[in-house]
Each structure stands twice: as C-alpha cells, then as structure tokens.
Amino acid sequence: MKDELHSLLPMLRKSRLVALKFLNSSAGYFLLILLAYLFGYFSASSSGHGGSPRQPSLVSPLPPAGAAAGEFFPQPRMADTSEIRTTPTITASTMIKEFRVTTRCAGRVPPEAVRQIVLDRVYDGTSPFQGFPPPHVSGLLRKKTIRGWGSYGAVFANLIRKVRPRVIVEVGTFLGASSIHMAELTRRLGLDAVILCVDDFRGWPGFRGDKFGFVRYVNGDVMLLYQFMQNAVYSNATGSVLPVPFSSGSALQKLCEWGVQADLIEVDAGHDFNSAWADVNRAYRILRPGGVIFGHDYFTVADNRGVWRAVNLFAKLNRLQVRTDGQHWVIDS
C-alpha cells in the first residue's frame, strides 16, 4: 500500500502544477468568476423555505390543533353601519332641483342707462346706424323687406299694454318684423323703450333657398344684419331697436354680467328642444321681478314639439305657470 502511495506522488505533483498553471491563465480566472457567481445565485435561491424561492402563500396555514375559533384566524370584520352613507332617495322633486337656475346677475342698472351701456360695450359708444348703410353694401339691400312668423299677433299689444316696458329683449330677430312691430306699439303708448335684438344674423344653413334668396352674400358673409338695419331705418325705429349681433348664449350672458334686466322678453330663436331650453333659461335670468317672458311656436311639431317640451319643463322646474295667447306661450314671473 505504501509503495502505491509513493508511486502516486509524482502524478499528484504534476496535476497540481497543471492546475496552478491553468488558474494563472485568463481562462482559469474567468472560470473562478463564473463559479463564484453561480454559488451566490444558488445560495440566495435556497435561502427560502423548502429550498425554493419564497412565494406569496395563496392558502393560509392550518391552525394549530385545539385552537379555538377566532384564536388563530381573525374573524371577518363586520361592516360598521355607522360608516355607511345612505344614498338619498331619488325622486322627481330632487332631480328637478339640479336643473333650477341659480346664477345671480349683476345689480340692476337703471332702464334709461341700458341703451348707452350696450352702445359702449358693443359699438365703442357710437350708434351702429350712424352713417348707415356703408358704401360696400348699399347696392345689395332692398329698401324694405320685413318678414317674420307670428310677428303681428295680439299677444304683443296685450303684453305691452300690461307691462308698459322700458327695456325689451328679443331673442331671435331675423329681419326684424316682431321688433319693429313692438317699437311701433311702444311709440303709440308714449313709452320710451329700448328693444335689444339678440341674434347672430346668420340665419340657418340653406335659409336663402327657403324664399329668402334676396338676402345677398358677399364672400360668404350674409347681409342679414344689414337688411334688418335697413328695415329699421325705413320704419323709423332706429331710436328704439338696437341689434346685439352675437349668439344668444354669449349675448344673454353679457347682459346678465352688465346688470341689464328686461321688463319683457320674447324668445323666438331655435325651435328644437336644446336651443329653446337654453334660450329660455338664460333669458329668464335677466327678467326683472314682475316681468313677462313669452315666445312663439309653442305648438310647432319641430323636434317632437321641442319648444313645448322645453317651456313646460322650465315652468315645472321653477314652479311657474304657462298660459297661451294664440300661437305664443306666456310666463309671468
């Protein structure tokens, strides 16, 4: 046995020399780095329970034998009823509240100051009728073309005699038949009234094909505002009527901010539900207490009786009564 060990010594020395030579080489150095990395990786992986990486437990461990109920596992917490907010019962009355107009306008300015306020804010203090018509449109206008719908109904005379308005706001003017008629009625009664005509004076898409082809276009700009003003000049109504040539939404909002309140408001613009609903709500904000708001097309079938639905809903939400006068609806504030 001793002889066999002595015979192995030279072989072991030789293997050791070969190993040392290999480790001193770049390949040996790389192998040591790789082995160290692998050793560290497997050591970290085996540090969890069961020799494998620890994973979140999906099933809780069983309780110790003999553990009382609730001693090991916490019992599910019952909902604290004191923390539960009960949802109020939704009724027609609570829903209606959300739609009522609550916005407050500026303090009311004196009726005699309204015309000048609008001139200052819209026309830089000068009348739009000054120097009218401008040369570039004078040859495009008719001397007089006053057309409308329901513009001469008895409701106008009835309400003007009743209210005796100093400030009238008309939402939807077109060619001015209603506003010019109201100007004549106030003049007969000796009333010094201003009639603000809110309209963007653009008509509607394709309106010139609906018997209004005489209203001219210049580079896409329809001459509806100018024809309305020409009708007011012809009718000697420029001292009463004053165009406010903007959308109803923006114009009524500004009148509200400026403290303009009307004694009488006529709403006769869009006949669909959404337009009528918006116009009536915005217009009512600038109606003085005791004033009257009214409008045309109460019985029209457009948009599934859009005006009728909008006016009736508005009256219901605000606890008001709707009455009719011919084709017009009337609401007293």
Instruction: Give the residue carrying structure tokens 């069961």.
Output: 50
Residues β-bridged to residue 197: 170, 243
Instruction: Report, as an integer, the average pLDDT of 124-143.
Output: 94
Is the pLDDT reported for residue 136 higher than 50?
Answer: yes
In the chain, the domains with their CATH numbers are 108-332 (3.40.50.150)
Q: How does residue 83 score in pLDDT terms, banded at 50, 70 and 90?
A: low
- The pLDDT, as a whole number, for residue 234 is 96
Q: What's the CA gap between 230 and 215, in Å, rounded?
A: 12
Q: Mean pLDDT, to the nearest integer, of 315-321?
A: 94
Question: pLDDT averaged over the chain?
Answer: 81
The pLDDT tens digits of the residues spanning 165-185 come to: 999 999 999 999 999 999 999
Band of pLDDT at residue 141, cut at 50, 70 and 90: very high
Query: For 16-30, 145-159, 190-204, 304-318, which range has the lowest pLDDT when averaged over its residues?
Result: 16-30
Cα 129 from Cα 115, distance rounded (Å): 13
The tokens describing 156, both together, are 């106008």
Instruction: Give 70's pLDDT tier (boundaries 50, 70, 90).
Output: very low
Of the ranges 290-294, 295-299, 300-304, which one carries the lowest mean pLDDT score? 300-304
**Taking every pair of C-alpha atoms in the chain, what is the biggest distance, in angstroms?**
148
Strands 328-332 and 287-295 turn out to be: antiparallel
Query: 290 or 18: which carries more pLDDT confidence?
Result: 290
Angle at which helix 248-258 crosses helix 273-285, to 10 degrees, equals: 10
Highest-pLDDT range among 38-47, 57-66, 202-211, 302-311: 302-311
Q: Rounded to an integer, what distance in angstroms lies between the CA atom of residue 156 and that of residue 294? A: 10
Band of residue 60 on the pLDDT scale cut at 50, 70, 90: very low
* Strand ranges in the chain using DSSP code E only, listed in sequence order: 167-171, 194-198, 217-218, 221-222, 241-244, 262-267, 287-295, 322-325, 328-332
Buried residues in 157-173 as b, exposed as e (16+ CB within 10 A):
ebbbeebebbbbbbbbb
Q: What percent of the chain is modeled with pLDDT above 70?
A: 70
* 40: confidence class by pLDDT, cuts 50, 70, 90: low
Spell out the residues 6+ positions from residue 271 whose beta carbon is closer than 8 angstroms to its own: 297, 300, 302, 303, 306, 307
* pLDDT at res. 293: 98
Query: What is residue 24's predicted lDDT score, i.e. its pLDDT?
Result: 58
